[in-house]
């Protein structure tokens, strides 16, 4: 290993990658079991608890809900959105207590973007993201060191998808890169190539590849970096030739959608509109009529003309809610077999009621705190994204 890079921090002097690595929490998060008061409560009792806690907390509370949350949770959200919109809500919120109904990386980003007096909570600590767990700080740092041996590392820009730990966001902040989400990946990559020649994009290979194709690049410009192999399993020539080094990560929900689903949907309903999330594989994306973040999908479906028939390639709770909210249109899942995000699904009313009542009681739990060293550089990377878009 080479010695860690030390760079002047925006406000606290000199810190290093080693500081970030030392501060990075283990990916193991353990949610303690809920008291019987919540697990045995009826839906009516849970509703009463949540309503009372919200009334008690008033404007000091803000509940944020991602589109993949189940109906009985999202109905309590003060603001809903995709990961980008929710990050903006968090950054602009004046509430002191922000309950994030989403997954861990979203709550971490909210903590990074809020002031010190604001607290962010995740109702179930086990609500992680399997894609985010596919890249950790040690692997990325090792990749960076290996790259530095074969290319001019000053011309490589690291970009991390929002779906990543705060430690990775800090890594890209320190190395001149930025965060992106599914709604702004193209803008962030255009910014990237204005300042460098190669991008190291993690952890979702599909978002990187789909955006690269959208920008006019092709397969010859892209290589997949497999962190389980030396030099990502690539040759030195491959690494040098690549404009996009795409981390071998994926979303287990979105990779289930296959071209066969598109063919079957169109065979059944000729003229059906196919709308997919950019975490889907490229062979699906190139067959689709539209590709966009969860917020864009919501906008497209909502504004579609009555009678439109649409198959959606994204998480099932969102698709089912869109179907119910648009009874004048036909909205179905692109994969007829149910496609839930099991970690988003961990957030339920018992956990929400418990989290809120703990805040009311003055004994808050499940606060997500990013250590100051990591937060400082993660904020740099997140702020670059907000400025670019
Ligand atoms: P959005 O940014 O579109 O909300 O996506 C987040 C996510 O986790 C999709 O799997
Ligand atoms: Fe992670 Fe996929 Fe779930 Fe999104 S849908 S939170 S990327 S596992």
Separation of CA 83 and ligand 2 centre (Å): 11
Structural tokens at position 111: 């903590």
- Report, in angstroms and rounded to the nearest whole number, the Rg of the chain calculated over CA atoms: 21
Q: Taking the mean position of all CA atoms in its chain, how far away is CA 125?
A: 16
DSSP 3-state assignment of 63? strand
Instruction: Kindly give the number of the ligand 2 atom that is closest to the alpha carbon of 341.
Output: 3
Q: Which ligand is nearest to the CA of 276?
A: 1
What is the per-residue pLDDT for 185?
Answer: 98
CATH class of 29-128+344-388: alpha beta
- Tell me which fold the domain 132-247 belongs to: Rossmann fold (3.40.50)
Among residues 221, 229, 245, the alpha carbon closest in space to that of 156 is found at 245
Angle between helices 137-150 and 166-174 (to 10 degrees): 30
Site to substitute for ligand 2 among 68, 106, 335, 341, most atoms within 8 A of C-beta = 341
What is the per-residue pLDDT for 21?
Answer: 62
Q: Is 251 in the pocket of ligand 2 (CB under 6 A)?
A: yes
Distance in angstroms (rounded) separating the CA atoms of residues 201 and 168: 11
Structural tokens at position 366: 């499940």
Exposure string for 89-109, b = 16+ CB within 10 A, e = fewer:
bbbebebbbbbbbbbbbbbbb
Instruction: Kindly give the number of the ligand 1 atom that is closest to the alpha carbon of 297.
Output: 3
Q: Are strands 244-247 and 198-202 parallel, antiparallel or unpaired?
A: parallel
What is the per-residue pLDDT for 19?
Answer: 66
DSSP 89-156: HHHH---SEEEEES-HHHHHHHHHHS-TT-EEE-S-TT---TTGGGS-HHHHHHHHHHHHHHS-GGGE
Encode the chain (389 residues) as per-residue pLDDT tens digits.
333 344 455 555 555 666 666 665 545 568 989 999 999 999 999 999 999 999 999 999 999 999 999 999 999 999 999 999 999 999 999 999 999 999 999 999 999 999 999 999 999 999 999 999 999 999 999 999 999 999 999 999 999 999 999 999 999 999 999 999 999 999 999 999 999 999 999 999 999 999 999 999 999 999 999 999 999 999 999 999 999 999 999 999 999 999 999 999 999 999 999 999 999 999 999 999 999 999 999 999 999 999 999 999 999 999 999 999 999 999 999 998 877 999 999 999 999 999 999 999 999 999 999 999 999 999 999 999 999 98
The dihedrals phi and psi of 357, each to the nearest 5 degrees, come to -70, -30
Q: Is 211 in the pocket of ligand 1 (CB under 6 A)?
A: no
Residue nearest to atom 7 of ligand 2 (CA): 251
Separation of CA 138 and ligand 2 centre (Å): 22
Instruction: Kindly give the number of the ligand 1 atom that is closest to the alpha carbon of 292.
Output: 3
Q: Taking the mean position of all CA atoms in its chain, how far away is CA 66?
A: 10
DSSP 250-276: --TTGGG--HHHHHHHHHHSTT-EEEE
> Could you tell me if 231 and 144 are in contact, meaning their C-beta atoms sit under 8 angstroms apart?
no
pTM: 0.93
What is the per-residue pLDDT for 6?
Answer: 44
Instruction: Kindly give the number of the ligand 2 atom that is closest to the alpha carbon of 132.
Output: 1
What is the per-residue pLDDT for 30?
Answer: 84
Q: Are strands 6-9 and 13-16 parallel, antiparallel or unpaired?
A: antiparallel
Q: Is 251 in the pocket of ligand 1 (CB under 6 A)?
A: yes
Structural tokens at position 256: 């289930």
Instruction: Kindly give the number of the ligand 1 atom that is closest to the alpha carbon of 277.
Output: 3
Site to substitute for ligand 2 among 107, 253, 293, most atoms within 8 A of C-beta = 253
Residues of the chain with CATH 3.40.50.10800: 29-128+344-388, 132-247, 254-333
What is the per-residue pLDDT for 5?
Answer: 43
- CATH code of 254-333, in short, is 3.40.50.10800
């Amino acid at each position: 290993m080479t010695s860690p890079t030390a760079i002047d921090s925006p406000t606290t002097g000199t810190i290093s990658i080693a500081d970030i690595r030392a501060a990075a929490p283990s990916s193991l998060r353990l949610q303690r079991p809920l008291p019987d008061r919540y697990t045995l409560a009826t839906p009516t009792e849970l509703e009463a608890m949540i309503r009372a806690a919200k009334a008690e907390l008033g404007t000091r509370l803000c509940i944020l809900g991602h589109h993949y949350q189940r109906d009985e949770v999202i109905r309590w959200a003060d603001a809903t959105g995709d990961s980008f919109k929710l990050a903006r809500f968090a950054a602009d919120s004046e509430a002191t207590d922000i309950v994030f109904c989403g997954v861990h990386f979203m709550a971490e980003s909210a903590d990074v973007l809020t002031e010190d007096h604001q607290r962010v909570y995740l109702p179930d600590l086990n609500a992680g993201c399997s894609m985010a767990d596919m890249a950790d700080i040690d692997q990325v740092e090792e990749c960076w060191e290996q790259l530095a041996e074969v290319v001019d590392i000053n011309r490589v820009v690291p970009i991390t998808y929002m779906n990543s730990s705060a430690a990775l966001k800090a890594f890209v902040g320190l190395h001149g890169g930025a965060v992106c989400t599914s709604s702004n990946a193209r803008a962030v990559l255009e910014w990237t190539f204005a300042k460098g020649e190669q991008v190291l994009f993690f952890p979702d290979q599909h978002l990187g590849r789909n955006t690269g194709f959208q920008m006019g690049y092709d397969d010859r410009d892209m290589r997949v970096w497999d962190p389980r192999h030396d030099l990502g399993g690539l040759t030195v020539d491959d690494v040098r030739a690549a404009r996009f080094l795409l981390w071998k990560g994926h979303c287990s929900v979105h990779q289930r959608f296959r071209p066969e689903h598109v063919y079957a949907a169109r065979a059944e309903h000729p003229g059906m509109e196919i709308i997919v999330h950019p975490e889907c594989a490229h062979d699906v994306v190139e067959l689709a009529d539209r590709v966009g973040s969860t917020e864009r999908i919501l906008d497209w479906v909502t504004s579609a003309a009555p009678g439109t028939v649409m198959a959606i390639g994204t998480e099932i709770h969102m698709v089912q809610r869109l179907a119910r909210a648009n009874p004048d249109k036909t909205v179905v899942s692109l994969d007829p077999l149910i496609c839930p995000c099991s970690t988003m699904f961990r957030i339920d009313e018992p956990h929400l009621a418990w989290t809120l009542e703990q805040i009311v009681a003055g004994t808050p739990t499940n606060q997500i705190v990013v250590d100051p060293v990591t937060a400082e550089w993660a904020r740099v990377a997140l702020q670059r994204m907000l400025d670019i878009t």
